[in-house]
With several copies, the nearest count.
Chain A
Amino acid sequence: NRKSEAKYRYTPAVSIAENEPRNEVWGQNFPKEYQSSLQTKDTNFISYQGGSKMRDMLEEDPRLVILWSGYGFSKDYNQGRGHAYAIEDIHNTLRTGGPKGEGDGPMPATCWTCKSPDVPRLMNEKGIAEFYSGKWADKGSEVVNSIGCADCHDPNNMKLRITRPALVEAFDAMGKDINQATHNEMRSLVCAQCHVEYYFNKKLPGKEGVPYLVLPWKNGMTVEAMEKYYDDLEFSDWTHGLSKAPMLKAQHPGYEIFSTGVHADRGVSCADCHMPYKSEGGQKFTDHHIQSPLNNVSNACQVCHREETKNLIKNVYERQRKAAETRLKLEDLLVKSHIEAKKCWDLGATEAQMKDILTDIRHAQWRWDYSAAAHGGSFHSPVETARVMGSALVVVQEARVKLARLLSDLGHNKPVEMPDISTKEKAQEFIGLDMEKLHADKEAFKKNLLPKWLEEAKAREDKMPIVNTVSAVEK
């Protein structure tokens, strides 16, 4: 009848199964959306600090190597690029190492969570905790499709949906019900499945030992609320290689920071800027070429702002430049604090003498990372980004004044010599990484294990049915 016609009016070529992971299958019904999503393969756009080009962050800013000493990110870290690369990039990153087979490698299976529509399929088949269990390498042949339709859509009616348990559970923890989300909120929440800060909790009651994916939102989404959350848990992601501080890593709190900005305040959603309407042959559809809006100002910004493209880009760059100015200074001070702390240890400092200092370093770097890790943050919410960096500057100052006093007590009352970290290579050498070995392991993985995964996957998928619909189906 007509009512449902209004809801869903198209002639499906195929009928899409509940957790269909293959984007090209969905693409047969929705060619425009699918074709545009393929454009996330384009890597030609580069902006002041974003864009789809592969950007080696460690090379652009070798301070990062020091800040993440002892942690995977010091080996390799690139700026995110198009969704189509999610699988390729997680294969290639040195962070996932060079596993030789099941049960091998540094990373847990949880790492797959935000990379593919195979994830809801697997979670449905195996169970959530089971999905998170085991090594990253264990599920290599199962997760092969890059981010796609099943991550965000209900195949029955193409409505937006949430497929990642972490977000649902985070809403629960905050006492909210995600099912109450409005349509417009959903246009940001689908992104909040992935563009959010997270950690792996191995101590969840009943799931001990499983690196369960959790968004630390229970006390709220501000930098202070999450800091308290982690402090209360006495959680740390790793112990710093130089300062031995119990560190936290902030991963892309994109949604959290965005929510504090004026666009969120005015009801603008992620999709408004990153997936605006597009016209093709007189037809309008949602542009699934998710990318930097600066490559698409007329659709992304000028719907609302009657302002010249040049000027809008200038506005964005200006906010980013101002944030970068403070951020780089803050990083310099954090680097100093790690090296000064190391000097203290070298000179024989005791745990008791170091305790407060290391807590300060933990907090200062957490705040820095929160403000830096979501690459869009300095535009999405420039004032909050600046506030967070301001608070980090205050805390790192505390640390460094204490360090100066302690160093003096330990007989070193002068500036600590800083290593040459002018390039990524020098910095990595300084923190003692064996890059050659890391690269060799990765190559071996790509030569031996990876092709097997892809073969297995192909065989598996070839057996999955595609059901052609014979006539226009009315649902």
Chain B
Amino acid sequence: MPKLKDIKILPPKGSHWREKAVFYIAVICGLGLFMAKESRVTSYLTDDPQACVNCHVMTPVYNSWMHSSHREWANCNDCHVPHDNVFNKYYFKAKDGLYHASVFTMRAEPDVIEMKEASQEVVQQNCIRCHVQQVTQAKYDGWIEGHSENRLGRQCWSCHKQVPHGKVHGLSTIQNNIAPLPTDSDEMVIPSWLAEAVNKE
């Protein structure tokens, strides 16, 4: 579906969007039930990163994020969804989610996923959203050397290659992909023999 790559995220303008929308609606109708069951669509609307791991293709990025400096502060949506206004947030999410879902459902996922240009723009804005003072204010020079010059023109992760997914990318970069699923909270963290033994006490 090469055309999808051309989508720009910013507010819908003109008939370009309508065309796609029709397509997405079709996707929903066709795969709705399947999706709801298989990928827990409702959880996808939350900010819980575990929602993203419903797809195994998202486990490498989940795991690299989980081991990153941002785990405690920024979840997927903090970076990958626009935060300039509520409308944009959900619009982007819906579009993105449905896009991923359709690619995924058709087993068309590539080995190395790359951010679309639109996503890149969103992420960049989000880096800046959180770090604006650090990267723009000359007065923090003593702390972060060299950010005094305007670095906003480059992608932050061209330097900060580790943030947050690490330098190496691709579906096969993380062995033994094990990531917690939303259902994990229902399960016990102690083996059943031990649970029984302790309960007996």
A–B direct contact (CB < 8 Å): yes
A187 within 8 A of B: yes
Of the stretches B13-21, B86-94, B114-122, B172-180, the one at the interface is B172-180
Given contacts A6-B53, A123-B197, A165-B198, contact A158 B189 (CB under 8 A): no
**Residue of A154, A180, A271, A284 most packed against chain B (CB within 10 A):** A284
Given contacts A165-B198, A284-B166, contact A9 B177 (CB under 8 A): yes
How far, in angstroms, from A352 to B67 measured CA to CA in the complex?
A: 58
The residue in chain A whose Cβ has the minimal distance to the Cβ of B138 is A6
Given contacts A123-B194, A272-B140, contact A282 B176 (CB under 8 A): no
Chain A positions within 8 Å of B167 at CB level:
279
Q: Is the CB of A271 within 8 A of B173?
A: no
B95 within 8 A of A: no
Q: Is the CB of B193 within 8 A of A277?
A: no
Interchain CB contact (< 8 A) of A184 among B68, B69, B142: B142
Chain A positions within 8 Å of B55 at CB level:
6
A422 to chain B, nearest CB (A): 46
Q: Is the CB of B190 within 8 A of A5?
A: no
A395 to chain B, nearest CB (A): 36
Given contacts A184-B141, A277-B139, A303-B162, contact A3 B190 (CB under 8 A): no
B156 to chain A, nearest CB (A): 13
Q: Is the CB of B194 within 8 A of A120?
A: yes
How far, in angstroms, from A272 to B198 measured CA to CA in the complex?
A: 30
A283 within 8 A of B: yes
Q: Is the CB of A183 within 8 A of B184?
A: yes
Contact-residue bracket for chain B: 35 or more
Q: Is the CB of B178 within 8 A of A157?
A: yes
B194 to chain A, nearest CB (A): 6
Chain A positions within 8 Å of B201 at CB level:
128, 169, 206
How far, in angstroms, from A285 to B177 measured CA to CA in the complex?
A: 9
B143 within 8 A of A: yes
Q: Is the CB of B67 within 8 A of A276?
A: yes
A373 within 8 A of B: no
B111 within 8 A of A: no
How far, in angstroms, from A124 to B190 measured CA to CA in the complex?
A: 12
B72 within 8 A of A: yes
Residues facing A in B47-74 (CB within 8 A) are 53-56, 59-60, 63-64, 66-69, 71-73
Number of interface residues of A (CB under 8 A): 60
Q: Is the CB of B142 within 8 A of A187?
A: yes
A159 within 8 A of B: yes
B133 within 8 A of A: yes
The residue in chain A whose Cβ has the minimal distance to the Cβ of B186 is A179
B75 within 8 A of A: no
Residues facing B in A6-61 (CB within 8 A) are 6-10, 18, 30, 32-33
**Residue of A2, A6, A168, A189 most packed against chain B (CB within 10 A):** A6
B140 to chain A, nearest CB (A): 7
B4 within 8 A of A: no
Q: Is the CB of A6 within 8 A of B179?
A: yes
The residue in chain A whose Cβ has the minimal distance to the Cβ of B68 is A303
How far, in angstroms, from A158 to B51 measured CA to CA in the complex?
A: 20
Interchain CB contact (< 8 A) of B168 among A7, A158, A172, A282: A282
A292 within 8 A of B: no
The residue in chain A whose Cβ has the minimal distance to the Cβ of B130 is A306
Interchain CB contact (< 8 A) of A303 among B73, B140, B178, B179: B140
The residue in chain A whose Cβ has the minimal distance to the Cβ of B166 is A284
Residues facing B in A174-221 (CB within 8 A) are 178-187, 189, 206
How far, in angstroms, from A183 to B63 measured CA to CA in the complex?
A: 12
Chain A positions within 8 Å of B175 at CB level:
10, 32, 283-285
**Residue of A30, A157, A183 most packed against chain B (CB within 10 A):** A183
A268 within 8 A of B: yes
B2 within 8 A of A: no
How far, in angstroms, from A158 to B198 measured CA to CA in the complex?
A: 22
Q: Is the CB of A283 within 8 A of B174?
A: yes
A170 to chain B, nearest CB (A): 11
How far, in angstroms, from A45 to B9 measured CA to CA in the complex?
A: 46
B38 within 8 A of A: yes
Chain A positions within 8 Å of B143 at CB level:
266-268, 272, 304
Chain B positions within 8 Å of A5 at CB level:
56
Q: Is the CB of A272 within 8 A of B197?
A: no
Q: Is the CB of A158 within 8 A of B139?
A: no
The residue in chain B whose Cβ has the minimal distance to the Cβ of A124 is B193
Given contacts A279-B168, A284-B168, A304-B69, contact A163 B190 (CB under 8 A): yes
B134 within 8 A of A: yes
Chain A positions within 8 Å of B69 at CB level:
303-304
The residue in chain B whose Cβ has the minimal distance to the Cβ of A157 is B178
Chain A positions within 8 Å of B194 at CB level:
120, 123-124, 162-163, 165, 168
Interchain CB contact (< 8 A) of A304 among B134, B166, B180: B134
**Residue of A33, A123, A154, A306 most packed against chain B (CB within 10 A):** A306
Given contacts A165-B198, A272-B67, contact A181 B176 (CB under 8 A): no
Closest 3 CB pairs of A and B: A184-B142, A6-B56, A267-B72
Interface residues in chain A, defined as those with a beta carbon under 8 Å from any beta carbon in chain B? 1-3, 5-10, 18, 30, 32-33, 120, 123-124, 127-128, 154, 157-163, 165, 168-169, 172, 178-187, 189, 206, 266-269, 271-272, 276-277, 279, 282-286, 303-304, 306-307
28 contacts between A and B (CB under 8 A): A3-B38, A3-B54, A6-B53, A7-B179, A8-B178, A18-B193, A30-B176, A120-B191, A123-B193, A123-B197, A124-B197, A127-B197, A159-B184, A160-B189, A165-B198, A168-B198, A189-B189, A269-B142, A272-B139, A277-B67, A277-B166, A279-B167, A282-B173, A284-B166, A285-B174, A303-B68, A303-B69, A307-B73
Given contacts A2-B56, A120-B191, 16 further A-B contacts (CB under 8 A): A3-B38, A7-B178, A10-B176, A32-B175, A120-B194, A124-B194, A128-B198, A161-B190, A165-B197, A184-B71, A187-B142, A268-B142, A283-B175, A284-B168, A284-B174, A306-B73
